[in-house]
Structure 1
């Protein structure tokens, strides 16, 4: 039967590993069946043909997104806010997000963890929850509120390791507590990432041995790379099974440092660390009582401390090509295939391949204008190319 079968034809299809020219992605419902020549599609299958020159690629996955569409998760850590954040980022090619709750009261963490499965039911683009803190170092708080920074209790660990349908990612400072915490989280399927940390090289290596696999916004808010004090950056870049987030906005990290990181053994991932103005209408918001203002592309408090970013994933891909000199196909992998693998979705998302979920993005490769996205096979409102 042809019911629920359809195809999207494009000048270029990047499947996450290889390029296919003048082909179509053949789908049924929310799953990919194959990549075929249009002439080889079954008779009668509806075909959506993208504009000449358009690319079709796996949808972008953002593992660190604090807000969007004028919504900040810390203000309302419920299912509706998570779904709204995912919807706001979809127009930028992002088909999967990890709404991110930064350091706050324990009650908000509880609410968010209890809400995330409901949020995924409301919007399939919600892949899970990222808790960036509160188990971080007071020496590297960034914009995080020091009043809420603390060490995890037994009750916290029980809460974090409870079974869920969605992914859980925790950013922490492993030097702040004894051995065994990272291992317990990792054994329960929680993704553990080092961030806002003063861990030494040796402490980082020990955490990696326990199951740490991520590094949150590498270079930012962590012990710096030193000649005789290599710290977490060196440990990260030596680890072939680790993943590190890059905020490629020209503000958080100098492009030369990111180019250096790309020469390491670890897997790069693009993240936005986005705040409410992305996909929204306002240029300012409150975070733990602080006025955060967007000016000249930077989100800062009154003291000039960076407070997340105004970056979207389409711009992050473009910046990776233009600022870091990376081929477009690699930038696309950093935005989809790598984060899918990091979050445990490597057999479902991040590729255009049989049996993968039909999360796709169509765009103009010249400037990363997004034409349309599909999440679980469902299209967004298309943008007409100029």
Structure 2
């Protein structure tokens, strides 16, 4: 059966257009075209857009990549998020032992042809101990051969990879070497000074991981990594769930960037998305409490949110215009990775587009 869906707004070729409809069959969009004035659609949506691209997903569906470091684990995380409006997912391995990083690289090679798998994000272990957050201190360490070998394995196979590191921990010449491999290097879990951050940017860092979080606050005379990031031309991801960053502070950063389309959304999702309300990480119970994911001490430990919810929050609570919010969930993260974001067209399959209502909640077909 083919259903005719009319959209008040359609994100087409990088902009919002009105008056479009999609003929949707069992496999996806059969035809995308203007809605005729005499037609009565089967369904009306506020927004039809390409599915999102999330560059930071630690887990979903009851699985953490750290606990199931396999091609099966990768596919399970990706498939769980694809059912929730995120069409392309970069599973994220957080600070761990060297052999597990190598296993993650091999798993990524095996899973690379899977629908929706966008590459691998390795977050740590080469981070600042004092800004490790929920990352295990015993695994935090300087750059080593295990990570470098894993990066080489991935890049030889042309698998996209992002590496989050602290620029004060990893020497500039090593950062340059990693960037030259084709790795996107992001600064995060860092206490870097302004000078250390600028040195990292000069060495090839092009992104910042979950802006504000796992970074010291800036002050009037010491911008540090946060102020330097906001004032830079680099990309910056943000978790817009209302727990990691207040709505007001999210808006300040969004409006202060010197170049447009340098901010993008990430979920930092954990196993509770599409799964049970708790899981174990490093042998410690992590649970959902009042909408936030916390450890036994009550500290934030990842996020209980998906990308589409972050996008809705960005519009409704931060006040970012809808077209900019859609770009922050689609075009900008693709640009971070040097790729072209998939768009809407005849033949777009299920899992690669999303319909949202006026509250920017996903409409299931």
| TM-score of the alignment, normalized to the shorter chain, above 0.5 | yes
Q: Verify the 8 A CA contact 2:92 2:121 in the aligned structure 1.
A: yes
Please list every run of 5 or more consecutive structure 2 residues that lacks an aligned counterpart in the other structure.
none
236 and 25 in structure 1: CA distance in 2 versus 1, 3 angstrom threshold: farther
Shift of 1:33: 12
The answer to whether the aligner puts 1:366 opposite 2:358 as a matched pair is: yes
Shift of 1:277: 0.7
Residue 22 of structure 1 corresponds to which residue in structure 2? 19
Q: Verify the 8 A CA contact 2:218 2:224 in the aligned structure 1.
A: yes
53 and 294 in structure 1: CA distance in 2 versus 1, 3 angstrom threshold: closer
The aligned runs of 1:145-294 (5 Å cut-off) are 145-162=136-153, 163-240=156-233, 242-263=234-255, 264-265=257-258, 267-280=262-275, 282-294=276-288
The answer to whether the aligner puts 1:302 opposite 2:299 as a matched pair is: no
Residue 326 of structure 1 corresponds to which residue in structure 2? 320
19 and 109 in structure 1: CA distance in 2 versus 1, 3 angstrom threshold: same
Residue 305 of structure 2 corresponds to which residue in structure 1? 311
Q: Verify the 8 A CA contact 2:269 2:305 in the aligned structure 1.
A: yes
Q: Distance in 1 between matches of 2:42 and 2:49?
A: 12
Residue 48 of structure 2 corresponds to which residue in structure 1? 56
SS at match of 2:182: coil
Shift of 1:91: 2.3
SS at match of 1:369: coil
Q: Distance in 2 between matches of 1:186 and 1:7?
A: 47
Shift of 1:109: 0.5
The answer to whether the aligner puts 1:124 opposite 2:119 as a matched pair is: no
Q: Distance in 1 between matches of 2:221 and 2:48?
A: 46
SS at match of 2:143: coil
Q: Distance in 1 between matches of 2:14 and 2:182?
A: 27
Give the superposed CA RMSD.
Answer: 2.7
88 and 155 in structure 1: CA distance in 2 versus 1, 3 angstrom threshold: closer
Q: Verify the 8 A CA contact 2:46 2:358 in the aligned structure 1.
A: no
Q: Verify the 8 A CA contact 1:274 1:309 in the aligned structure 2.
A: yes
Q: Distance in 1 between matches of 2:357 and 2:10?
A: 11
Q: Distance in 1 between matches of 2:244 and 2:101?
A: 26
SS at match of 2:317: helix
Q: Distance in 2 between matches of 1:32 and 1:173?
A: 43
SS at match of 1:166: coil
Q: Could you tell me the TM-score, scaled by structure 1's length?
A: 0.84
Residue 45 of structure 1 corresponds to which residue in structure 2? none
SS at match of 1:57: strand
Q: Distance in 1 between matches of 2:86 and 2:354?
A: 11
Number of residue pairs matched by the alignment:
352
Q: Distance in 2 between matches of 1:247 and 1:108?
A: 26
Q: Distance in 2 between matches of 1:94 and 1:302?
A: 30
SS at match of 2:311: helix
Shift of 1:350: 4.7
SS at match of 2:129: coil
Please list every run of 5 or more consecutive structure 1 residues that lacks an aligned counterpart in the other structure.
1-5, 40-48, 372-382
The answer to whether the aligner puts 1:339 opposite 2:339 as a matched pair is: no
Q: Could you tell me the TM-score, scaled by structure 2's length?
A: 0.89
31 and 52 in structure 1: CA distance in 2 versus 1, 3 angstrom threshold: closer
Q: Distance in 2 between matches of 1:251 and 1:305?
A: 11
Shift of 1:183: 1.1
SS at match of 2:131: coil
33 and 344 in structure 1: CA distance in 2 versus 1, 3 angstrom threshold: farther
Q: Verify the 8 A CA contact 2:82 2:351 in the aligned structure 1.
A: no
